[in-house]
């Protein structure tokens, strides 16, 4: 009896909770209800859709690789070392999480554009121009996705017992060897989770990509950009592309449910 009472949901909390659930689920339900299912196979097999899908998968995977190479050492630096300004550095690392993506694209242009702070030297010395190229898509996606990986890996590092690394050091292992042989296996689940989140974020990136790389079919037009363009000219194709992105998002959440959700 008392247990049943403790599980009873107060009406002032139940109604807003149900409204919140409806608010989040109704747009997704509308997408499924308004999908032209009969014409969906034709939409999904069109060359434009496959070209955008191919570019999205390649660029998101490349951006995730960039995040791994740069983000894992950065997470280790934030979690395992103490230096002045570490809090400021962490704030700068997480800034792309709250920064409007279009602003991030403008910042990338000012930094890596042909007349940018660094971009002018890349162009003059090496002939490298990143804006409005496929490489520019990768850079834009990595910029917005890396904080997800850094936060995940840093949290895993803080939870891992540093005494294992200290024991490896007492046995003669260098700090890098201890990191490679001891720390990396310990934090592998956090790296995997952060990689999946970074990949999903890169796959869905729009604002920074269109600002820094443009919207050129076959070169910089990823799936979110294709959805935006198709919404103006071919709504059925926009729905088909949206369903693909929705399926990917659901798959990501399903794969991470054991890490990010708790059992009922």
The CATH architecture one would assign to domain 58-221 is Orthogonal Bundle (1.10)
Q: At what angle do helices 235-255 and 11-33 cross, to 10 degrees?
A: 130
- Sorting pLDDT into bands at 50, 70 and 90, what band is 67? very high
Q: Identify which of 79, 61, 62 has the alpha carbon closest to the alpha carbon of residue 190.
A: 79
State the pLDDT at residue 7.
67
Question: Six-digit token pair at 123?
Answer: 């162009």
Q: Identify which of 145, 60, 143 has the alpha carbon closest to the alpha carbon of residue 104.
A: 143
Question: Six-digit token pair at 116?
Answer: 């940018």
CA–CA dist 55, 37 (Å, integer): 25
State the pLDDT at residue 244.
82
Query: What does 115-156 look like in DSSP terms, one character per residue?
Result: TSTTHHHIIIII----TTSHHHHHHHHHHHHHHHHHHHHHHH
Radius of gyration of the chain from Cα atoms? 22
State the pLDDT at residue 58.
93
Give the rounded percent of residues in the chain with a pLDDT score beyond 90: 31
Is it the case that residue 260 has pLDDT exceeding 60?
no
- Sorting pLDDT into bands at 50, 70 and 90, what band is 83? confident
- Tell me, what DSSP letter sits at residue 127? -
State the pLDDT at residue 121.
92
Is it the case that residue 99 has pLDDT exceeding 50?
yes
Extents of the domains making up the chain: 58-221, 223-254
pTM, 2 dp: 0.83
Per-range mean pLDDT, top range of 29-33, 59-63, 228-232: 59-63
Mean pLDDT, all residues of the chain: 84
């Amino acid at each position: 009896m008392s247990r049943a009472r403790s599980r009873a949901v107060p009406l002032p909390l139940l109604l807003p909770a149900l409204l919140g659930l409806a608010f989040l689920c109704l747009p997704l339900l509308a997408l499924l209800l308004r999908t032209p299912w009969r014409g969906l196979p034709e939409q999904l097999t069109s060359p434009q859709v496959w070209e955008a899908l191919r570019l999205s998968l390649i660029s998101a995977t490349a951006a995730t690789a960039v995040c791994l190479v740069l983000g894992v050492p950065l997470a280790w630096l934030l979690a395992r070392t103490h230096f002045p300004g570490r809090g400021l550095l962490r704030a700068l690392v997480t800034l792309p999480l709250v920064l409007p993506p279009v602003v991030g694209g403008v910042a990338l242009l000012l930094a890596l554009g042909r007349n940018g702070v660094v971009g002018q030297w890349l162009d003059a010395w090496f002939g490298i121009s990143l804006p409005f190229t496929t490489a520019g898509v990768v850079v834009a996606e990595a910029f917005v996705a890396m904080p997800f990986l850094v936060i995940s890996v840093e949290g895993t590092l803080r939870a891992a017992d540093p005494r294992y690394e200290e024991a490896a050091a007492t046995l003669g292992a260098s700090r890098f060897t201890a990191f490679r042989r001891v720390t990396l296996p310990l934090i592998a689940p956090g790296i995997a989770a952060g990689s999946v989140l970074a990949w999903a974020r890169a796959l869905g990136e729009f604002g920074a990509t269109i600002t820094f790389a443009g919207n050129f079919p076959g070169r910089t037009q990823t799936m979110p950009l294709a959805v935006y363009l198709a919404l103006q000219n071919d709504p059925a194709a926009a729905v088909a592309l949206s369903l693909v992105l929705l399926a990917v998002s659901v798959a990501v959440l399903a794969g991470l449910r054991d890490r990010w959700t708790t059992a009922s």
